[in-house]
Amino acid sequence: MTIEVSQVQQFLTYLSHEKRYSKHTRLAYEKDLTDFMKFANSNSLAQWSTIQSQNVRGFVATLNRAGQSPKTIQRKLSSLRSFYAYLMRESLVEINPVEGIRAPKAGKKLPNVLDVDQVHGLLTVAPEDILSIRDLAMLELFYGCGLRLSELTGLDVKDIDFNQTMVRTIGKGGKTRQIPLGKFAVKAINNWLKVRDQWVVYGQTALFLSQRGNRIANRTVQARLKHWGDKTGLGTSLHPHQLRHSFASHLLESSGDIRAVQELLGHANLSTTQIYTHLDFQHLAQVYDKAHPRAKKKTAG
C-alpha cells in the first residue's frame, strides 16, 4: 500500500483557492510533501493518521544523511507541519506528529574523519628515533583516548596509571576525568618513557617533552601531526581534533552508546556530543523513542 495522495491534493487546492498562495509557493509545498510521501512509501507507511513523531525524525535523518542543509530540512518540516494542521482542522487526523521537531542545527565545521585503514597506516609506522617514539605515543593517546590538544600537553607522568591502565586528564572547566588506555597506547607510552630521560630537564614532570627537555608546546604537537600526516600520505593536514573526532566517530559506530562517548570526550551536554561526532540523527531518535518515558504517546487503555 502507498500513502494517500488525495488528501495532499485537497491541501494543495486549499492553498491555491482559499489561502491564495502563488503557484510557485504551491509547487514548493507539493515538492516537500512528495519527498515525504516517497519516504513514507519506502517505509511502508500507508496512512497519514498512523504516522508518528519517530517516523518524521526518520525522515529528517534521511535528509540529513543525504546532505540536505538544515535550512532545507526545516522548510520541508514546515510544509509537513502545515499539512498536518490542515488535516487536523478537517478532522482527518488527531495529532500533528511534526510539532516540536526541528531540523538539526548547522554544526561547527569539523575535521574530516579518518577511516580505520588511514588510522592503522598512521599508527603502524615503525619509530626510528626518540622523536618518532614520542610522536607515536602522542598519536596513540589522541586516537586511543580522544584527548584535546591542551589535555595531552598538560599530562604529567604521574597521570598515567599502568596498574589500572587509565589516564587521568583535566579538561575544560578544570573537570577531571579518567579514560581507559588500550594496549597499543600502553605499549607506545612505555616505549617513550624508556627514552624520555635522554631529553628531560631536571625536575620536569611533563609526560611529553620538547627536544630541549621542557613540556611540549601545543604548536609543536600540531607541527608534528602535520608532519606525520604528510609522511604517511593522508592527503589531509592532520591535526589533533581530527584524531579526537575519529576516536569518537569510530567508537560510536561500533558501540552506538552516545552516553559513553559523551563521558569519554568530557562533554557536559549530550547535544555537544551529537554535533561533534556527526551522530547519526536517526540512531539518536531511536534511542530517545526507546528509552525516554515521555517519548512515546501512551496508548488508550
Catalytic residue among 239, 244, 245, 250: 244
Is 241 known to be catalytic?
Answer: yes
Catalytic residue among 29, 86, 143, 276: 276
Instruction: Output the nine-digit C-alpha cell for 226.
Output: 602535520
| 3 burial level (CB within 10 Å; 0-12, 13-18, 19+) | buried
Is 267 known to be catalytic?
Answer: yes
Catalytic residue among 102, 120, 241, 259: 241
Catalytic residue among 102, 172, 194, 259: 172
Is 86 known to be catalytic?
Answer: no
Catalytic residue among 148, 168, 215, 226: 148
Is 19 known to be catalytic?
Answer: no
Is 172 known to be catalytic?
Answer: yes
Helix axes 240-255, 218-231, angle to 10 degrees: 70
Catalytic residues: 148, 172, 241, 244, 267, 276
